[in-house]
Amino acid sequence: MDLKLLRQKDFSLLIVGKLVSLLGSNMLQFALSLYVLAMTGSAAIFASMLSISMLPRLLFSPVAGVFGDWFDRKTTIVLLDFVNALVIAAFAVVFIFKGSLTIALIYMLVIILEITEIFFGSAMSAVLPSLVKKEELMAANSLNSLVMNIGNTLAPIIAAFLYSYWGMKLILSVCAVSFALSAVSEIWINIPKSHKQPEKISFKAFRTDLFEGVKIIKRNKLISTMIGLGTLINFSVAPLFTIGLIYIIKEVLLVEDIWFGAYQVVLSVSMIVAPLLCGRIIKKVKVGILTYGSFVIVAALMLLMSIFTLKYIMFDLGTNMVSFMGLLVLSFCVGLVVTVTNIALNTLFSQVVPLEAMGRTSTVYNLAVTVFIPLGQMIFGLLLDAIAPSLVVVLCAVVLIAVISVYKKALIGYDLTEQTEPAAQGELQHEI
């Protein structure tokens, strides 16, 4: 992995700021989950707290996309991090004086933070691509992935420790401070101005730019391909790893909690070491080919997984550890490949989308690839109840193979165009 980018002040400050705010956000989410379960004991209320965040995403993503392209991105991300700090600090004060938070207040906090996150993500989408050169994007995304996955791994560990000994009061206070520190670090970043604000802000201007963002997606075949690919994969395949394997390990294999914890740690470690182990591959292979090849490998690994979910392997060998260890090793490999794929897709997206339209396209992209995940998870759960786990895993692999076959030409074609027609990328940007 190329660590030279860390010598650049602006890039380093950006990564540090994102890490600090990520730690705060994930710690708060983890602690709120524990708090709600401890307070109510209701799985339905717990699930509703997780799903309620989808509503503001559906309502505000288009608005956030336009505003992210209109206003100065540095001002926006600094302001929103300070807003998060103040909001969480206010809830901390309420908790200190009342000794608890009601479910209504928790819902309010989750919704407010989700709204600010949508606007923050829209503004932030163009920041990293604007700080590094185009040829450095892959390395930058690799470093960003490494640091963010470290944060995702550390956040629940830190939150569990703090929550166990000092409770929700300290969690809220620490998270407020983390967002404030993130905002302070972002003040010192020199972010090139790529926003494009209309001469007069009005509903007509908003509508025009909103539909312009939709036109960008329609005109750019590669962006449409990425949205279609991401949506179908998250709907049909992602539930295997968010629900299926957890269900198989806990409810079918009935492994002890310590082994289930080991499984979760292995998944986290795979995402952290992926940029380190695969850095040269990520740097040398064209992003379209890398994306296509990664999905082919994931499909092959899923077919191997189906073997370890066969009834004979799981139960008739006298131990459940054969299946568990097989799933553990294959899940580690999938984690490596998926992380590499995400790095490639983020780089691809940053290369083909103009910076001045990054907010609109990124919010639409994120909304499209995530909105159907709950439906996919529900269907996956019904399938696990109706048919053998091995058949469900094979079905996911077949769906993935079908999806990547449909989008193969578009992914590979991007690399061929880039290699054989140097001016094509510039023409594409101009057309957009």
Mean pLDDT, rounded, for 27-53: 74
pLDDT at 365 over 60: yes
Q: What does pLDDT average to over the chain?
A: 81
Give the domains, in start order, of the chain with CATH numbers: 4-189 (1.20.1250.20), 210-431 (1.20.1250)
pLDDT band at 421 (very low <50, low <70, confident <90, very high): very low
Q: How does residue 233 score in pLDDT terms, banded at 50, 70 and 90? A: confident
Pair of tokens at residue 148: 């963010």
Q: What is the pLDDT of residue 247?
A: 81
Predicted confidence (pLDDT) per residue in 67-108, tens digit: 888 888 889 999 999 999 999 999 999 999 998 888 889 989
Mean pLDDT of 227-242: 81
Sign, CA dihedral 7-9-10-11, equals positive
When pLDDT is averaged across residues 43-71 and rounded to a whole number, the result is 75
Burial of 84 (0-12, 13-18, 19+ CB in 10 A): buried
Cα–Cα distance list, 194 to 74, 184, 362 (Å): 10, 22, 15
* pLDDT (average), residues 353-367: 78
Q: What pLDDT sits at residue 181?
A: 92
Residue 293 pLDDT exceeds 50 = yes
User: Among 38-52, 105-119, 295-309, which stretch is predicted with the lowest mean pLDDT?
Assistant: 38-52
CA 419 vs CA 13, 235, 352, 432: distances in Å = 34, 33, 15, 20
Task: Name the band, by pLDDT with cuts 50, 70 and 90, for residue 34.
Answer: confident
The residue among 374, 296, 377, 360 whose CA lies nearest residue 334 is 296
Least confident of 5-9, 110-114, 295-299: 5-9
* CA 90 from centre of chain: 28
Higher pLDDT, 201 or 292: 292
Average pLDDT of the segment spanning 113-128: 87
Question: Can you give the pLDDT at residue 426?
Answer: 36
What is the gyration radius of the CA atoms in the chain, in angstroms? 22
Residue with tokens 């939150």: 159
CB count, 10 Å around CB of 305? 27
Do residues 112 and 338 touch, judged by C-beta distance below 8 A? Answer: no
The one-letter amino acid code at 397 reads A
Closest CA to 148 of 16, 282, 28: 16
Query: Which residue bears the tokens 């509703």?
Result: 48
Distance between CA 416 and CA 428 in Å, rounded? 14
Least confident of 5-9, 106-110, 390-394: 5-9
